[in-house]
């Protein structure tokens, strides 16, 4: 019987002929933890009797969730991470390097066919590079640092086939929000998702990361894509490209195959307080906003900043809106400066903060006040997510966020974008 991408990668890494629902222990190619989860992993590591990290050159800590530290307590946890990483000769990406899910691919740590665990739920992002990458907890990370291995229940797979081509002003963020709205926030729980079809193939790798990043918002364990020439070009540009891609077999068994025609999709918005509470932007257009956030592991990449700048160039953000921009990494930040994108955003009124996660997870860098509305390019809009349970978070594409920052109300970006170059 044929296999899905998930079944193939987990078979290869466990040495077993594994199919959906089998329990396997597999060798992990890369391990990652961030500053919200690594301190607890260090404690578990010590409690487990761990003496040394088994594969330090393929294990990394990233300080991105509260970076730079806003509090003494956080500083102590960061110090703990730095000391542990140094002692064990692990990789450490410190304050200012960027968001873990941008860094892992950007630094060449993951690629086609990799098996990666990260103590962060959005680890599924690297599925866009054909990696089986999944979020785990701190104790899982500790066990993997000690043994190099991890236990997995091999997931069933839902295949999403996206036909057609996204229209002008509609992006991969709109597509994944739409899909989550369709299948709901637990529509793919315990399962892997495979995203395929000409609409996916037409996307840049940057845009594909946005889709795989949000696989977890439909409950999925992984958000997998095929490795095409674009992926290989991207991987080679960011590392040695020493990977082996995996494709699903034509006779692989899927839990479900869902097909969509995306050619008439409109910009989408996820309304408070659920990621699957999705509607076309027209339904919420005119809602006043007090803060707009551009960045995060979902949409803080060069292409995202470029789209926002194309709307805001030569214009001013609405006087009653705080517009916060967090590039996904130092590299993205530098490239955006070289292109003049950061300058345009700042002239328009943006407050640029250190590459990192702060505003999205409510640790610092823009906690909203009671009753305020925020429009964000992030991936979660749960009540209290940005550290105030009386604020309201709307999720949208960089274009919709930029257009809304400009007008002070949720706005359809299509009337503000420069006309399509054909």
Considering the rule CB under 8 A, would residue 222 count as an interface residue with other proteins? no
Q: Where are the beta strands (DSSP E) in 144-230?
A: 149-153, 157-163, 192-196, 222-224
- Residue 228 C-beta: closest distance to other proteins, Å: 28
Considering the rule CB under 8 A, would residue 189 count as an interface residue with other proteins? yes
12, 274, 301, 322: residue in contact with other proteins (rule CB under 8 A): 274
36, 127, 295, 327: residue in contact with other proteins (rule CB under 8 A): 36
2, 15, 25, 337: residue in contact with other proteins (rule CB under 8 A): 25
The CA distance from 97 to 212, in Å, is 22
The CA distance from 87 to 266, in Å, is 51
Considering the rule CB under 8 A, would residue 312 count as an interface residue with other proteins? no
- Residue 369 C-beta: closest distance to other proteins, Å: 14
Residue 406 near residue 314 (C-beta atoms within 8 A): no
Q: Given phi > 0 = left and psi -120 to 50 = alpha, else beta, which region is 207?
A: alpha
- Residue list 336-395, contact with other proteins (CB under 8 A): 361-363, 367, 380, 382-385, 387, 389
Q: Closest CB to other proteins among 82 and 383?
A: 383
Q: Where are the beta strands (DSSP E) in 36-191?
A: 59-62, 91-93, 115-119, 132-135, 149-153, 157-163
Residue 18 near residue 7 (C-beta atoms within 8 A): yes
Q: Closest CB to other proteins among 286 and 384?
A: 384
Q: Closest CB to other proteins among 25 and 337?
A: 25
Q: Which stretch binds other proteins (CB under 8 A): 47-55, 98-106, 198-206, 313-321?
A: 47-55
17, 49, 242, 421: residue in contact with other proteins (rule CB under 8 A): 49
The CA distance from 399 to 182, in Å, is 22
Look at residue 60 and give its three-state secondary structure.
strand
- Residue 26 C-beta: closest distance to other proteins, Å: 10
The binding track of 70-109 with respect to other proteins, each residue x by CB under 8 A or -, is -x-xx--x--------------------------------
Give the CA distances from residue 419 to residues 169, 206, 271, in Å, rounded to whole numbers and listed in that order: 10, 22, 28
Q: Closest CB to other proteins among 138 and 212?
A: 138
Q: Closest CB to other proteins among 136 and 203?
A: 136
Considering the rule CB under 8 A, would residue 168 count as an interface residue with other proteins? no
140, 194, 206, 412: residue in contact with other proteins (rule CB under 8 A): 140
- Residue 332 C-beta: closest distance to other proteins, Å: 23
Q: Tell me the backbone φ, ψ of residue 294, rounded to 5 degrees.
A: -120, 120
The CA distance from 285 to 343, in Å, is 28
The CA distance from 155 to 245, in Å, is 19
Give the CA distances from residue 189 to residues 180, 248, 286, in Å, rounded to whole numbers and listed in that order: 12, 20, 34
Q: Which residues pair with 280 in a beta bridge?
A: 268
Q: Which two tokens stand for residue 212?
A: 């795989």
149, 165, 253, 313: residue in contact with other proteins (rule CB under 8 A): 149
Binding site for other proteins (CB under 8 A): 23, 25, 35-37, 39-40, 43-44, 47-50, 65-66, 71, 73-74, 77, 119-121, 123, 135-140, 142-143, 146-147, 149, 151, 153, 185-186, 189-190, 219, 221, 274, 361-363, 367, 380, 382-385, 387, 389
């Amino acid at each position: 019987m044929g296999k899905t991408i998930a079944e193939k990668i987990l078979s290869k890494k466990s040495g077993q002929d594994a199919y959906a629902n089998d329990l396997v222990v597999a060798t992990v190619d890369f391990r990652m933890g961030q500053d919200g989860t690594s301190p607890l992993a260090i404690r578990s590591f010590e409690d487990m009797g761990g003496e040394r990290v088994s594969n330090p050159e393929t294990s990394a800590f990233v300080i991105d969730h509260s970076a730079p530290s806003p509090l003494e307590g956080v500083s102590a946890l960061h110090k703990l991470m730095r000391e542990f990483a140094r002692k064990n000769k692990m990789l450490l990406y410190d304050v200012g390097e960027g968001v873990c899910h941008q860094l892992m691919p950007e630094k060449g740590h993951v690629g086609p066919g990799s098996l990666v665990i990260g103590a962060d739920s959005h680890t599924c992002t690297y599925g866009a590079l054909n990696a089986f990458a999944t979020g785990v907890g701190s104790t899982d990370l500790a066990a993997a640092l000690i043994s190099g291995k991890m236990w997995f229940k091999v997931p069933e797979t839902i295949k999403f086939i996206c036909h057609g081509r996204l229209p002008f002003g509609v992006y991969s963020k709109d597509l994944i929000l739409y899909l989550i709205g369709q299948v709901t926030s637990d529509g793919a729980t315990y399962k892997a998702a495979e995203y395929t079809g000409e609409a996916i193939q037409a996307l840049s790798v940057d845009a594909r990361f946005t889709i795989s990043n949000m696989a977890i918002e439909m409950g999925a364990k992984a958000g997998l894509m095929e490795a095409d020439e674009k992926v290989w070009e991207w991987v080679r540009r960011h590392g040695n490209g020493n990977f082996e891609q995996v494709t699903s077999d034509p006779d692989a068994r899927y839990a479900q195959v869902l097909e969509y025609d995306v050619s008439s999709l409109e910009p989408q918005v996820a309304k408070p307080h659920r990621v699957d509470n999705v509607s076309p932007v027209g339904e919420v257009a005119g809602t006043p906003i007090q803060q707009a956030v551009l960045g995060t592991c979902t949409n803080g990449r060069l292409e995202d900043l470029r789209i926002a700048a194309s709307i805001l160039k030569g214009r001013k953000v609405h006087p009653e809106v705080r517009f916060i921009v967090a590039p996904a990494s130092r590299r993205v930040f530098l490239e955006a400066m070289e292109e003049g994108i950061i300058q345009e955003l700042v002239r328009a009124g943006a407050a640029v903060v250190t590459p990192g996660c702060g505003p999205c997870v409510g640790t610092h860098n823009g906690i909203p006040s009671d009753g305020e509305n925020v429009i964000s390019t992030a991936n979660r809009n749960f009540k209290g997510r940005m550290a105030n349970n009386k604020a309201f978070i709307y999720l949208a594409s960089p274009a919709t966020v930029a257009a809304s920052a400009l007008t002070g109300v949720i706005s359809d970006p299509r009337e503000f974008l420069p006309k399509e170059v054909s």
